[in-house]
Structure 1
Amino acid sequence: MFENSTTEGKQNTKVLQGKRRQDEVQLQEGEENHLQHYLRCRFHQIKTVHVALVVGVATQLEKLWTPSHTVISCHDPDIRRIYHTSTVSHLVLALVVTIIPFSMMVMLEWACPPKNTPQPHKPSLRKTLVRAFVYMWDSGVGTVFTIFFINFIKIAVAEARPNFWDVCRPNLTEAQCDQVYVHVTWRDCTNPHQLPHPQVVDSMKSFPSGHSAIAVFSAVFMIVYIHRRLWRVCSYLLAPWLQLAWASWAVFCCQSRIWDSKHHWWDVVAGGMLGAFGALITVHHLCRWFDRRERVQDCEAPEDGTHATPASLTPSATYYLIPGSEGDGYKSTPQQEDSE
């Protein structure tokens, strides 16, 4: 009797030791796979950052590239308007498309938590700020690529602005002006207002409107975001008013470019269309239409210190960060469509 119990005890001990070794091997494999996924994710993030930085530097370097010439008619009234300062300056434009959207996203992400958040709890400030920052980062990447494309068109087309004659005042003879069209370079400008050289060169970059593109980009981006966050989720009344405010901002900024004699009407229309297209591409490919369980890179271990199992780290799995979910960490779920 005693020998049988001893034998059973030894067998149970061996079984427990075997399970422990199996669990240790599984945990080690999970840690290795998690580390591989972490490094792979960081590599993709670094590539994205580098691409954005390269495009941003290229966009700034484009200011050093000048159109070879522009073609004008000396008697064209569309290029003889008076020079005015911009109603919407570059600083105002930058503040409106960065500070206001980020502040609005922080408030909406906190006030309208995901449906699976236990009531009356709200998401933590850290998660709210992180999610708003991620959306603003996507918006910034889309804006940079849009500006790069627009500046490329500006240099290729080299259209004179409505205030070109007043800004440049080219040194042309009567014989040259008697021609139907005349080629003018920045070296022909007398610069009567003593403006900086970049502004004189900029008078040859009318088509399309960069201000209009950025304003419409921000408006479309925020209109879609407000629709996803407020419409049929938190408020039926607040959403359309906020969307109307963003649409009004875009219309005002576009119209101001015509009032200030900075652009022709077709420049504004083309810039607005490019901005709307860039915003929709950004929302679709980067923000994934602001889905609550949008796909993110699982680059950090869960806060509770647990490691994902090898099965959950297979390439067929899609990683989602679900704010407010139980455990407040990462989950691995099959790729599927999820709506608000």
Structure 2
Amino acid sequence: MSNETSSSETTPLRRPETQSPYNVAESGRQTTVNTTHTHGNGNNNNYGDSVEVRLQEGDRDSTQQQQQQTITMDTNKRILCRVGLDILILLCVGFPILLFFLLGDPYKRGFFCDDETLKHPFHDSTVRNWMLYFIGVVIPVGVIVIVEVIISQNKAKQDNGNATSRRYVLMNHDLPDWLIECYKKVGIYAFGAVVSQLTTDIAKYSIGRLRPHFMAVCQPQMPDGTTCDDPINVGKYIQEFECKGVGSSARMLKEMRLSFPSGHSSFTFFAMVYLALYLQARMTWRGSKLLRHLLQFVFIMVAWYTALSRVSDYKHHWSDVLAGSLIGSACALVVSYGLPKSWFNFQTVWPAKSKAK
């Protein structure tokens, strides 16, 4: 009787009142308890302590897993929020450009009929729009991707698998270093290009300078039916006129007032100057020090030729090209030396593994 009584009163494992066997199963822990009839309270206490330690370790592992899941979700949220914010900023700066293109009405400036600078013939552009997009988009992005991939590969060889750089995780996938750097550099480039174009458009629509081919495109006619061929209009500053525009499209009639500054010049100079500065900072190939300078010279010459073609095609006056080139170069210098420290910067969230005490 005494043995049975001691066995019934002494329980090797005491389960908390708030925790049922079903709760233990739901938490992913399975505990097997072999109950033996012993006559010493010391043995029973030791067994209970060991089981309690095992339960505490299981609770610790479960807590760490939950913390890891929470941090991973927080990492994804932060990265997506930062990318979304960067895109929103680009859209906010780029949206006025679209409004200018669709709804913009340039300033109505007058002219003199004997102004020789406005009597040049209409000529198609030497650097077409698709060429401009290739120069300003494909070339810079391609060069940045190639350089960053090469830098990442060389860095991986030097580290030999012992990289200590910050890790970026999105959707449980490690983002490679070259992709992060491309995002930063291309993002800065895109922002600078949009700012440069917006600056140019504000000047274009505010000044409304007439292009060198104004007479050929507009073919102005005064309210009294006279034209610039009539001697009565010689020496007069004409403000009220209508464009007959024979053979001219509505877009051409709008573009004839958007001479200052040159959009082609500002865009290509921004792209090529930014690219030259990027190569100066990131291209560190030891094989030939002249290769970097050769590429920089080629890129600047591409912008220089594009700007000169705008004068020879009678699209702009020389002062328009000069102003556009200065705007593009200034924007490239500002975004290259001002924004990289504060713009398009991820913040790594990668917790250190905690050691079990």
Question: What TM-score range do you get, normalising by the shorter chain?
Answer: 0.7 to 0.9
Check whether the contact 1:217–1:275 (CA below 8 A) recurs between aligned residues. yes
> Kindly, what percent of the aligned residue pairs are identical?
24
**Bigger radius of gyration, 1 or 2?**
2
Code of the residue aligned with 2:217 in structure 1: it is V
CA distance in 1, matches of 2:259, 2:206: 11
Residue 226 of structure 1 aligns with which residue? 279
Conserved? CA contact 1:176–1:182, under 8 Å: no
Distance 1:27 1:234, change over 3 A: farther
TM-score by length of 2: 0.70
State the TM-score, normalized to the length of structure 1: 0.73
1:181 aligns with 2:220: no
Is the aligned partner of 1:59 residue 2:97? Answer: yes
Q: Tell me the distance in 1 between the aligned counterparts of 2:79 and 2:179.
A: 21
How much has 1:61 moved relative to structure 2? 2.6
Give, in whole Å, the separation in 2 of the partners of 1:242 and 1:226. Answer: 8
CA contact (8 A) 2:107 2:207 kept: no
- Equivalent residue in structure 1 for 2:351, among 295, 308, 319: 308
Structure 2: 5+ residue runs without aligned partners? 1-39, 162-173
User: More displaced, 238-247 or 275-284?
Assistant: 275-284
Partner in structure 2 of residue 191 of structure 1: 245
CA distance, structure 2, for counterparts of residue 8 and residue 163 of structure 1: 100
CA offset at residue 24 of structure 1?
A: 3.5
Deviation at 1:202, TM superposition (A): 0.6
* CA distances 1:87-140 after superposition (whole Å, capped 9, x unpaired): 111111101222222332333223333664225989x99765675465334322
2:130 to 75, 91, 115: 91
1:214 aligns with 2:267: yes
Q: Provide closer, same or farther for how the CA distance between residues 268 and 73 of structure 1 changes in structure 2, counting only shifts above 3 A.
A: same
Q: Is 1:70 the equivalent of 2:109? A: yes
**Equivalent residue for 2:88, pick from 28, 46, 50:** 50
1: CA distance, partners of 2:81 / 2:353 = 21
Query: Which ranges of structure 1 fall in alignment gaps of 5 or more residues?
Result: 302-306, 312-340
CA RMSD of aligned residues (A): 3.5
CA contact (8 A) 2:120 2:314 kept: yes
> Is residue 79–residue 346 contact of structure 2 (8 Å, CA) maintained in 1?
no
Distance (Å, rounded) in 2 between the aligned partners of 1:233 and 1:141:
31
After superposing the two structures, state which structure 1 stretch, 266-275 or 233-242, moved more: 233-242
Change (3 A) 1:38 1:129: closer
- Whether 1:267 aligns to 2:305 is no
CA gap 1:180/1:20 in 2 versus in 1, 3 angstroms: farther
Residues 211 and 315, structure 2, Cα contact 8 Å, conserved in 1: yes
Match of 2:189 among 130, 136, 139: 139
Q: Is the 8 A contact 1:283 1:289 kept in 2?
A: no
**Counterpart position of 1:165:** 215
The one of 259, 265, 276 aligned to 2:329: 276
